[in-house]
Amino acid sequence: MNFREAKENLKQETEEKFLGLYLEEEKQYLHFFVLEALPEIPQQIDLFYSGCRLFEMHGEEANYALTDIPSELEQSLMHARFRRYDDIADLYYMIPAQVLYTLFPEMPNPSREQLCPSSKQFFAYHAGELIRKYWK
């Protein structure tokens, strides 16, 4: 589902969490979104964002109220695909390639295998295919 659909679903099911993914395959850059209602104020929906190159540890992270999402983030958000996902807590502490491996275990394990540049590019393209196929 897209961002708009995830927002509408969350308004109806305030206890759910929605995980959004948008992978820029050429840049090997993962945009990772978590959309959730605040437990103490269920009508307020917040967005957690993390963006980073697949095999790096340092990127951007921020939390936003839906009314405060910066315009430079909106384009990535509109490309993201969302779905319900319960086990989000562990994903916050992983590099993007490890997040993708956790979500799609058929991917090579980036923490066990040294990937050369062409293997990293293949990893990115394969992950993009899996997101398009299964992340709906």
Q: What does the pLDDT read at residue 31?
A: 96
| Section 93-114 average pLDDT | 88
Q: Which of residues 106 and 14 earns the better pLDDT score?
A: 106
Cα gap 90→102, rounded to integer Å: 10
Q: What is the pTM of this model?
A: 0.90
Closest by CA position to 30, among listed 49, 47, 54: 54
Domain boundaries, the chain: 3-134
Query: Among 16-30, 45-59, 104-118, where is mean pLDDT lowest?
Result: 104-118
The pLDDT assigned to 42 comes to 67
